[in-house]
Amino acid sequence: MPTLTLITGGTRSGKSSLALDLALKGYSKRAFIATAAALDPEMKERISRHRKERGDRFQTVEEPLDLIRAVVDLPRDTEVVVVDCLTVWLGNLYHHSDTVESKVLALVEAFLGEVDKVPCDLILVTNEVGCGIVPDNALARSFRDTAGYLNRKLAEKAARVYLVCMGIPLTLKGQPPKTLPGGS
């Protein structure tokens, strides 16, 4: 039965490094679904840098909106897929639904309903956005609340949940990772 792993934490905390490390250990047929879109020069540079870091160790699919379709379309022999990141995906949903919260929630619910049907192990990367100040506008509060809801529902489904803080993965649910990112 496929395993769902959820990795959360703050910006630049080491979430993606842990996800890649987990996928590189024990799997030979790996996929990576990138949710970011190259909308400006800085983001294009980031995407390029991340592609180089992964090299040819992963089949990379760039899909900013339809994550389930992206997974279903992977080769049948795929053993693990890393999705990085759900917070960027959520921002894409808000952007493409004209920031209508009910549309975004419907898409989030659809994703939650399908995530259990993924035929391979799944490692999801997401940001913890609810530990800071309360945003000063309704859209930002809606985003924060929806991200918190998505993360909570995925954590309920996940066999393993890790919070990465300053590069240190803390096990919230399941077994600790066998190694730390970077071989530590």
Whether 96 is catalytic is no
Residue-level pLDDT at 86: 98
Distance, in Å, from the CA atom of 114 to the CA atom of 92, rounded to the nearest integer, reads: 19
Given a cut of 50, the residues of the chain with pLDDT beneath it are 182-184
Residue-level pLDDT at 181: 52
Q: Which of 2, 55, 66, 63 is nearest to 24 (CA)?
A: 55
What is the per-residue pLDDT across 86-123, written as a single tens digit (0 to 9) for each? 999 999 999 999 888 999 999 999 999 999 999 999 99
Structural domains of the chain sorted by starting position, each given as residue range(s) with its CATH number in brackets: 4-175 (3.40.50.300)
Residue-level pLDDT at 96: 93
Residue-level pLDDT at 47: 87
Distance, in Å, from the CA atom of 31 to the CA atom of 71, rounded to the nearest integer, reads: 9
Residue-level pLDDT at 183: 44
pTM for the whole thing? Answer: 0.93
Distance, in Å, from the CA atom of 158 to the CA atom of 23, rounded to the nearest integer, reads: 16
Q: Tell me which of 2, 29, 37, 50 is the catalytic residue.
A: 50
Assigned token pair, 171 = 């096990």
Do residues 80 and 123 touch, judged by C-beta distance below 8 A?
A: yes
